[in-house]
Structure 1
Amino acid sequence: MKTLLPLWLCILAALPALSPTAPMPRAGQDYALLFAVNDYSGKLMPLTNPIKNARDIAKELETRFGFATEVVENPTLADIDKKLKEYEDRFARNISGRYPSGGQLFIFFSGHGTVRYNVGYFLPLGADPDSPNTTALDYNFWRNRIDAINCNHILVAVDACHSATFDPNWQNRPDRHFSRPGELSEKEKVILNHSKYKSRFFFTSDGKGDQTPDRSSFANKILEGLRTHSSPSGFLTSSELFANYVERAFPTPGGGDFGASEGGASFLFFHETKGPAVDFKTSEQLRRDLEAWENAQRIGTIAAYQEYLDNHPGGGFRSEALETINNQQDELQWRYAKAKDKPEAYREYLRLFPAGRHATEAKNAIDKAGTTLQSNTTDATPDIAALDRFIKIEGGTFQMGDIMGDKEYDNETLHPVTVSTFYLSPYEVTFEEYDRYCEAAGKEKPSDQGWGRGKRPVINVNWYDAVEYCNWRSQQAKLKPVYTINGTNVSADWSANGYRLPTEAEWEYAARAVNGKGGGKVRFGNGKDVADPKEINFDGSKEYKKPYSIVGEYRGKTTPVGSFSPNSLDLYDMSGNVWEWCWDWYGTYPTSTQADPKGPSSGPFRVRRGGSWVNVPVYARCAGRGNSTPDRRSYNLGFRLARAAR
């Protein structure tokens, strides 16, 4: 988890601002207590920004809103307990209580978070993520303790992975929409409610008990709302901010109330000055649209044009962008067919682009090879012909693990592995493909996070979803399914010829392609030793630069498969875009020679490989290993298909 850019902007909705329609802040009544952890060690990666962000929040609250602030840096669980006890005493209903009960208390947590058995935890300094019940801050306990503080208005903000678990109803809440009934009435009543009713509210940087990414649009959407909102009432309610701006952020944020919060309470942003609503259908909007289009043309990639479409849904160059993307995908698929120079490859080109620029050439190539174009080349149903798109990966022996000597993690021990010949899809499974399965099987389609479906890699699928899809594809192609599935018990028949997930060893062997052969000495899955955001979809922000990476664009979403150049085995997106599920249970590498290893026989986590759009360069390395519980679904996790060479 990397903390978000100023999360305080969402908090300001709970605080009184200077305005002709609101009272001035009362000195000595508003307090802020901020906990931030950077210096994790052991099983937890150190973080860069929590302390800096906490200091920035404190400074803003002091200078703009008159808060008395305190930042507790790198606290242990005992430190947090001691400090909250101090504030409990300061607000106490007795002679020792020095703080007024009618004031406000803002409590902020920033660092790592985790969830175990549906219980969420904030991880302080020294916490063991494998034993959070004894070393971490249990939200269920501490939420009740905070609720009991003798202060009328308390706002808790949690900026950590799985922060949605602070919500006492996080598993049962039908949606993550944040709305306060007390904000939905006329102006005078809203202001009265603000002073009359007790509030216990929270905002969380995610709303589904998921990971907070290295970078998100959460703060940007908040900033957009604060900058552009205009209302004759003179204030912006937190419900308006959430519904009109924040709710469109990624990942989906959460918010709500807890404890003794009363129904009529309200959080407000008061405008310091009033003015006419801003009309964004102006020359400024046109200028930004034109600049974005020119930037897309300058970069010239599919990803660049797709980003223009994503960021400018009403842009004036939408049709031109769509046409350019289609033409580039057409040309890319044709180049692939020409490189393969097989009838099956030309058929696949025609299936994807039946009226493409090279349709006549493709048909002539098929005829020249003495074959006849089948009537099902444009059929959307997967069939055995789709197998011919797979790349044959000739087997061999290689040194699996940290071949480049990066020494980033201790789970990448070098060891010799022999991999048999197998087939691997050149692309990650797309929404287009997975949606056909959902329609046929009557399953709910996974969310695309609002980025679009089609040829983007499918996301929000867990390991069980992936193996079920493999069996369905095998059945459609009249192949023998690999997996026997009985609830969460899944076994594999490695002699079957159907579709399956690659093993971890197969995946790394194929990713490390050099001169058309797997298992070479190379750092990234596109065949290069330096990660360039122009060539891989990952977080290339300056703060994450490594000696083996280049600073560049952070896209903040997936890109259509095949948007970047492949490795020398014609495999695309082996680094970045989405993590890819593998068959194996996660475990420590053996040191002895292994032949076609399948991983441990059991465990709590399945392996995922390749990094994703939201991850920093260290995770995009071919040697980098990730793991997740098999029931985990995420906006940066997908898969690709493999098949035995039989």
Structure 2
Amino acid sequence: MVELAARSDQVRSDQVRTDQVRIDAAEFTMGSDAHYPEEGPERRVYVDAFSIDVTTVTNSQFADFVRSTGYTTVAERPLDPADFPGAPAENLQPGSMVFTGTRGPVDLRHLSQWWAWVPGASWRRPFGPRSSIDHRMNHPVVHVAYEDADAYAVWAGRRLPTEAEWELAARGGLDGARYTWGDRAERSGEKLANYWHGEFPWRAASGYGSTAPVGSFPPNGYGLFDMAGNVWEWTADWYTQPEPTDHCCAPSNPTGGTAADSVDPGQPFAVPRKVVKGGSFLCADSYCMRYRPAARRPQMIDTGMSHIGFRCAG
């Protein structure tokens, strides 16, 4: 078991022996009726066998992809003024959304207090133009939009997992359990994932409040790391509300709705949204208890953030 006080910038070689794990075909209970409305209804689904990455894709791995292909991420591309009518030209700079902790307690209903659009922020410079990933090569790559994650997966000869595949893998063989490791948030007093410890969003306990190197916490029952916390992970599914299923027959390999269905009519820009899973280092029990397999959130496909990464399926 990985001791929290003994984290390093390397995955423990005695625990990670292969880059993917094979998940057998299975029927399982997907979703939850006990937490957030978007997770329900609980339903039985069937998923064919597949393989999935042991860890999220790291900065080092993504750098290999960029060196090989010359790829430029969405956050690094110049913005087209035609896409933002009326916006001042000086505001049209490439960048990304960066978490910025507050100076003290705030009203948790207003997340704009701890998120900022930072020109120049990207996977290479996760906190802005003066930052780098030089000492974070084994951290999960972040600030990747859906298009970036999908491009990497294609280059690697893989794909992004469906939501059902991701959730089955995250459960680690514990069908219906609340967490990837069981039903209790702690096991013998030990915290088991990189979610927010402390007072959100202004004071994190030592060693928390940011991404951790992949493999810093114990794996789940399938040998997969960080299926809870660290970074949210892109899936291939468009974000729509799940439908109840017939108790007699579990649907096979569900994939969600359509791009049109995923658009939030309350937003000024009609940007389709994909499902992200797993929670992140920003999930605090007082605010976002989503470091659970059933948890899900919508993410606009053109927007990367400092707490969203991905892993591939095969």
> Structure 2-normalised TM-score?
0.69
Q: Indicate the SS of the match to 1:500.
A: coil
Say if 2:185 and 2:191, in contact at 8 Å, map to a contact too.
no
* Secondary structure at 1:406 match in 2: coil
- Separation of aligned partners in 1, 2:36 and 2:181: 20
Distance 1:299 1:460, change over 3 A: closer
1:333 to 13, 16, 25: 13
Partner of 2:294: 623
**Among residues 387, 392, 401, which one is paired with 2:31 in the alignment?**
401
Alignment of 1:309-348 (within 5 A): 329=11, 332-337=12-17, 345=18
Q: How many Å apart are 1:455 and its aligned residue?
A: 0.8
Q: Secondary structure at the match of 1:506?
A: helix
- Change in 2 beyond 3 A, CA 1:299/1:640: closer
Question: What is the alpha-carbon distance in structure 1 between the residues aligned to residue 219 and residue 153 of structure 2?
Answer: 24
Deviation at 1:523, TM superposition (A): 1.6
Asked whether the 8 Å contact 1:412–1:625 carries over to 2, the reply is no
- Cα distance in structure 1, aligned partners of 2:190 and 2:310: 21
| Residue type at the aligned position of 2:239 | Y
Q: For structure 1, which runs of at least 5 residues remain unmatched after alignment? A: 1-297, 307-324, 338-344, 346-388, 475-498, 545-550
Contact 2:22–2:52 (CA under 8 A) maintained in structure 1: yes
Residue 299 to residue 631, structure 1, CA distance change in 2 (3 Å): closer
Q: Secondary structure at the match of 1:398?
A: strand
**Maintained 8 Å contact 1:526/1:565:** no
Question: Cα–Cα, structure 1 residues 521 and 529, in superposed 2: closer, same or farther, change >3 Å?
Answer: farther
Distance in 2 (alpha carbons) for counterparts of 1:586 and 1:458: 22
Q: Does residue 1:614 correspond to 2:269, yes or no?
A: no
- Given candidates 196, 199, 206, the residue that maps to 1:539 is 196
Q: Secondary structure at the match of 1:599?
A: coil
> SS at the partner of 2:13?
helix
CA distance in 1 between counterparts of 2:169 and 2:301 reads: 23
1:113-134 alpha-carbon deviations (Å, 9 max, x no partner): xxxxxxxxxxxxxxxxxxxxxx
Report whether the alignment pairs 1:423 with 2:75.
Answer: no
C-alpha distance in 1, partners of 2:14/2:38?
Answer: 43
Give the corresponding residue for 2:213: 560
- In the alignment, the residues of structure 1 paired with residue 24 and residue 216 of structure 2 have an alpha-carbon distance, to the nearest angstrom, of 25
Query: What amino acid is aligned across from residue 13 of structure 2 in structure 1?
Result: Q
Once the two structures are TM-superposed, the CA of residue 301 in structure 1 deviates from its matched residue by 2.0
Taking a change above 3 Å as real, the CA distance of residues 635 and 473 of structure 1, as seen in their structure-2 partners, is same
Aligned residue in 2 for 1:198: none
Q: Is the 8 A contact 1:462 1:633 kept in 2?
A: yes
Give 1:130-145 correspondences, 5 Å limit.
Answer: none
Higher-Rg member (1/2): 1
Between the aligned partners of 1:502 and 1:558, the Cα distance in structure 2 is 22
Match of 2:153 in 1: 470
Taking a change above 3 Å as real, the CA distance of residues 335 and 628 of structure 1, as seen in their structure-2 partners, is: closer
Q: Distance in 1 between matches of 2:65 and 2:309?
A: 15
* Residue 336 of structure 1: how far off its partner (Å): 4.0
Tell me by how many angstroms 1:412 deviates: 2.2
Q: Is the 8 A contact 2:197 2:208 kept in 1?
A: no
Confirm whether residue 457 of structure 1 aligns to residue 140 of structure 2: yes
1:586 shift after superposition: 0.4
Query: Residue 533 of structure 1 contacts residue 539 of structure 1 at CA under 8 Å; is this kept in 2?
Result: no
Q: How many residues align?
A: 235
Q: Given that residues 39 and 294 in structure 2 are in contact (C-alpha distance below 8 angstroms), is that contact kept between their aligned partners in structure 1? A: no
Using a 3 Å threshold, how does the CA distance of structure 1 residues 639 and 553 change in structure 2: closer, same or farther? Answer: same
Letter in 2 for 1:605: R
Code of the aligned partner of 1:535: L
Who is 2:233 aligned against? 580
Quote the residue 1:268 is aligned against.
none
Tell me if the contact between 1:584 and 1:598 (Cα under 8 Å) persists in the aligned partners. Answer: yes
Counterparts of residues 152-551 of structure 1 (less than 5 Å): 300-302=5-7, 329=11, 332-337=12-17, 345=18, 389-402=19-32, 406-444=34-72, 446=123, 447-449=125-127, 450=131, 452-474=135-157, 499-513=158-172, 517=173, 520-527=175-182, 529-530=184-185, 534-542=191-199
Cα RMSD of the aligned pairs, angstroms, is: 2.4
Contact 1:522–1:529 (CA<8 Å) still a contact in 2? no
Shift of 1:591: 0.7
**CA offsets 1:340-361 (integer angstroms, 9 cap, x no match):** xxxxx5xxxxxxxxxxxxxxxx
Cα distance, 1:543–1:430 mapped onto 2, change above 3 Å: closer
The Cα of 1:401 is off from its aligned counterpart by 0.8
Helix, strand or coil for the counterpart of 1:423?
Answer: strand
Matched position secondary structure for 1:436: helix
1:398–1:335 distance in 2 versus 1, CA, 3 Å:
closer
